[in-house]
Amino acid sequence: MLKGNAVIGQSGGPTAAINATLAGVVRGLLEADCIGEIYGMRNGVEGLLDLRLINLREAICGEEALCLLSHTPAAALGSCRKKLPEVDGDDNEYRELFSILEEYDIRYFFYIGGNDSMDTVAKVSAYAQKVGYEMRVMGVPKTIDNDVMGTDHTPGYGSAAKFIATSMQEILRDCAVYTVPAVTVVEIMGRDAGWLTAAAALPRLHSDIAPDYVYLPERSFDMDRFFEDIEAALRRHPNVVVGVSEGLRFADGRYVGESAQSGVRDVFGHRYLSGTGRVVEQAVKEKFGCKTRTVELNILQRCAAHIASETDLAEADMVGRAAVEHAIAGETGKMMGFERTSNSPYAVKVIANDISAIANRIRAVPDEFINERGNDVTDECLRHIEPLILGEPKLEYVGGIPRHFSFK
């Protein structure tokens, strides 16, 4: 059994469940005899390189603190968007990183993040093997986008989907009170995959009210067909509500929101998107002359821990613990994931996949989950998502708002 110290990092966009995974990894490590110190990197590998480490055995005292951490949104350790260089290129940065790992006798390396973070895991793992440094490197997925390969779904998605479905039902009620024809456009995150936008249609399963359409980035957006949809909806009732993904593109590949954005790209080359909803709203206003409104769910959809999914939080913890077990059992260069063994009753088992097959690839909403016209998702899709949003966590409130955990 490999003895040594462990380090944990969080990376990428915050979610309501990433701290539950941190708590799960810590819980797993606390139970393991072969683990010495447990360090947290502040702001991911960026903080590791700057030696900004925190001793988690001291900083998280007891189960009460772990429970509070699990119910706190965003990344308690901080995050980063650092992209490591190619393993076979100039290795100055890797040599610096590994001298730190060696100095601290780090033999277990856990990194919790989305697609871009799995790229970091793959590279750290590959470099360790290349230079013969014995270390178990495990990736634990999180992303509200649910677009990571090698897993049925990602921790963080269920909570975001629950917020979106709940908010959409509330927005629908709000929009239903007037009799004046109006079109409300709800803009939802998800640059490359429509899982979050699909969740906006969930009220349809049990409520008397549902959005008229949801438009996913898996289908090209056609303004003329969209106008036909809106016209038909306005004939049915005055209060039309549609969900649109921020990542919608026209057939020629241009983002719908592109006209309203700066063209700035992040370090991974992704464009910053914003404004898809407003572009669509403006087009409706000009075409139909009716009242219009855009609601951007914005960062609330990734940080609204007050309406987190208990299923999501429990799974986020489970996959964190499992990462520790797999690492201690000798695995490395793996990403933890879920395999859904049954949908009704819902059941999953934890799996570990080779990370090199997973990093930098996108898991889109499959064709059979999208209707023929490309303006809605199927009931089968909604029944696939529903188990992930079930259950409400028991939160501790102080002064009327949820109590949160924070370091120092």
Report, in Å, the least distance between residue 299 CB and its own copies. Answer: 5
Cross-strand bridge partners of residue 408: none
**With the CA atoms of 287, 289, 295 and 298 taken in that order, what torsion angle do they form, in degrees rounded to the nearest 10?**
40
Cβ proximity to its own copies, 296 vs 376, nearer residue: 296
Q: What strand order describes the sheet that includes 334-343?
A: 53-55, 35-41, 4-10, 106-113, 136-141, 334-343, 346-354
Footprint on residues 184-243 left by its own copies (CB under 8 A): 202-203, 205-209
Cβ proximity to its own copies, 1 vs 61, nearer residue: 61
Catalytic residue among 50, 88, 105, 145: 145
Task: Tally the C-alpha atoms within 13 A of residue 120's C-alpha that lie toward its C-beta.
Answer: 29
Q: What angle do CA 300, 140, 402 make, to 5 degrees?
A: 35
> Does 80 contact its own copies by CB under 8 A?
yes
- Farthest-apart Cα atoms in the chain, separation: 70
Measured over the CA atoms of residue 396, residue 387, residue 116 and residue 296, the dihedral's sign is: negative
Report, in Å, the least distance between residue 120 CB and its own copies. Answer: 16
Site residue total, its own copies (CB under 8 A): 61
Cβ proximity to its own copies, 133 vs 272, nearer residue: 272
State in Å, rounded, how far the first CA of the chain is from the last one.
Answer: 33
- Residue whose pair of structure tokens reads 């964190």 in the numeric block: 320
Cβ-based burial of 308 (10 A; exposed 0-12, middle 13-18, buried ≥19): buried
**With the CA atoms of 365, 371, 375 and 378 taken in that order, what torsion angle do they form, in degrees rounded to the nearest 10?**
-70
Cross-strand bridge partners of residue 10: 112
> Does 78 contact its own copies by CB under 8 A?
yes
Cβ-based burial of 375 (10 A; exposed 0-12, middle 13-18, buried ≥19): buried
- Choose which of 27, 57, 81, 271 interacts with its own copies (CB under 8 A): 81
Report, in Å, the least distance between residue 376 CB and its own copies. Answer: 18
> Does 307 contact its own copies by CB under 8 A?
yes
Residue 256-295 contact track with its own copies, rule CB under 8 A, x = bound: -------------------------------------x-x
Active site residue 91: no
Structure tokens at 300: 């609330």
> Does 174 contact its own copies by CB under 8 A?
yes
- Choose which of 30, 223, 300, 351 interacts with its own copies (CB under 8 A): 300
Cβ proximity to its own copies, 253 vs 397, nearer residue: 397
Query: Residue 248 is which amino acid?
Result: L
Cβ atoms of 368 and 383 within 8 Å: the answer is no
Report, in Å, the least distance between residue 399 CB and its own copies. Answer: 4
Report, in Å, the least distance between residue 226 CB and its own copies. Answer: 22
Cβ proximity to its own copies, 302 vs 326, nearer residue: 302
> Does 8 contact its own copies by CB under 8 A?
no
Which of 150, 155, 152 shows the shortest CA–CA distance to 354? 150
Cβ proximity to its own copies, 78 vs 150, nearer residue: 78
- Choose which of 45, 135, 171, 370 interacts with its own copies (CB under 8 A): 171
Footprint on residues 366-405 left by its own copies (CB under 8 A): 386, 389-392, 397-404
Cβ proximity to its own copies, 362 vs 390, nearer residue: 390
> Does 333 contact its own copies by CB under 8 A?
no
Per CB under 8 A, residues contacting its own copies are 10, 14, 43, 46, 72-75, 78-81, 162, 165-167, 169-171, 173-179, 202-203, 205-209, 293, 295-300, 302-307, 309, 386, 389-392, 397-404, 406
| Residues known to be catalytic | 145
